[in-house]
Amino acid sequence: MIEFKNVSKIYNHNIFALSNVNIVIEKGEFVFLVGPSGAGKSTFVKALLKEIDLTNGSIIVNNTDITKLKRNDIPYYRRKIGVVFQDFRLIPNLSVYENVAFAMRVIEAPVKEIRKRVPMVLSMVGLSTKYKALPHQLSGGEQQRVSLARAMVNNPALLIADEPTGNLDPDTAMEIMDTLNDINHAGTTVLMATHAKDIVDNMRKRVIALEKGVVIRDEKRGAYGYED
């Protein structure tokens, strides 16, 4: 599914954000990416989304070397990945339904398919009755559920969650994690970058730990392992 081969990213002033990273993530895995601030988590995610160019190495996603993608092909590659952010990134003047449908309109999905798929994913995240609401009328947890629905509506094989619980209270955060777990159990590969020690320790999924751009731990049922 995902393979990092000797991946390094060096920023200005010889700062190694990633240093010779070699990782394989199999289809259907749920993986936490952890580490203190500055460890390289954001660079890892940006590299996977092809938002930055590597200094060395290659990244293979579904048998495609994304480091060799032409600029015009990058948007099509990203459309095959679901992404959830800490700050939700919903369109404020669109309803819940329209925010989710927007992701399907971008790929020019047929109207019939949009009308079928959007209610299905809204039901999956528990927002069937809120489809007419605007983002500002929702709680933080509900907004993140919309973000999850939008990420999943095109049925991606890979979901990347970048600090998805960072702005949520503990109870709401666990509800979001339950939803992510359900998505994973349905077959979607999930990679989640997080500082949420309690969540990582509670779920006991695979943990890849970064420190100063280096993978220092890769445990099948790991713990957070930091005090930050």
Give me the percent of the chain exceeding a pLDDT of 90. Answer: 89
**79-83, 84-88, 183-187: which has the minimum mean pLDDT?**
84-88
pLDDT computed for residue 228 by the predictor:
52
What pLDDT is attached to residue 227?
A: 65
Give the C-alpha separation, 204 to 222, whole Å: 6
What pLDDT score was predicted for residue 14? 83
Has this prediction a pTM greater than 0.75? Answer: yes
| Percent of the chain scoring above 70 in pLDDT | 99
- Only one residue has tokens 């420190």, namely 211
Choose among 23, 33, 21, 20: nearest CA to 222: 33
Shortest CA distance to 158 belongs to which of 203, 207, 192? 192
Identify the H or E element spanning 97: helix 96-106
Mean pLDDT of 181-197: 94
